[in-house]
Amino acid sequence: MATQIFVNLPVKDLTKSIEFFTRLGYSFNPQFTDEKATCMIISEDIYIMLLVEEFFKSFTKKEIANTAQSAEAIICLSSESREAVDEWVRKAVAAGATTPNEPQDHGFMYGHGFQDLDGHLWETMYMDPSYIQQEQPASEVSA
């Protein structure tokens, strides 16, 4: 069995979060959706669990990060093209997101992102497949 990834994020208003991510084209597994949580499907093996804050708190003794002051993570998803990167961010902004940073263009890699309704940071990036297939010097390979 392939490893599946479940990212758990606290949200203030589950209904608004579902509406927001629906506008970006995501769907939700009704089997794992109720008034406390939903399972957003990113891909066959990647899921985002959106949990109302009180429910999220039942899984940890730590405080929920104040996303207005700090970043707890940056969730980065790949895109199939530079245009897809821009379109994803455009849809997010139209749905109520903000863009705390400008797009980053590194030639072989292009990315941009947004801050969702709860302040979670999302990015998407496109990397030129021909660059990935090139043999990289050992000094450029990170451990």
CA 55 to each of CA 31, 83, 121: distance values in angstroms, whole numbers, following the listed order: 17, 37, 21
Are residues 67 and 10 in contact, defined by beta-carbon separation less than 8 angstroms?
no
Rg (CA), the chain: 17
Question: What does the pLDDT look like over 96-133, one tens digit per residue?
Answer: 999 989 999 999 999 999 999 999 999 999 998 888 76
Find the mean pLDDT for residues 59-81: 94
Q: Set out the domains of the chain in order of their start, with CATH numbers.
A: 1-62 (3.10.180.10), 65-143 (3.10.180.10)
Q: How far is CA 38 from the centre of its chain?
A: 15
DSSP state of 135: P
- Report the distance separating Cα 92 and Cα 82, nearest Å: 16
Report the C-alpha gap between 74 and 90 in whole angstroms: 18
Residue 28: pLDDT over 70: yes
Q: What is the pTM of this model?
A: 0.87
Mean pLDDT score, 129-142: 63
Query: Is residue 56 within a helix (H) or strand (E), and if so which, with residue range?
Result: helix 53-57
Residue 141 has pLDDT above 90, yes or no: no
Strands 104-105, 74-78: pairing is unpaired
Q: Please, what sign has the CA dihedral across residues 27, 84, 141, 122?
A: negative
Q: What confidence score (pLDDT) does residue 137 get?
A: 58
pLDDT band at 143; cut points 50, 70, 90: very low
Q: Which helix (H) or strand (E) holds 38?
A: strand 37-41
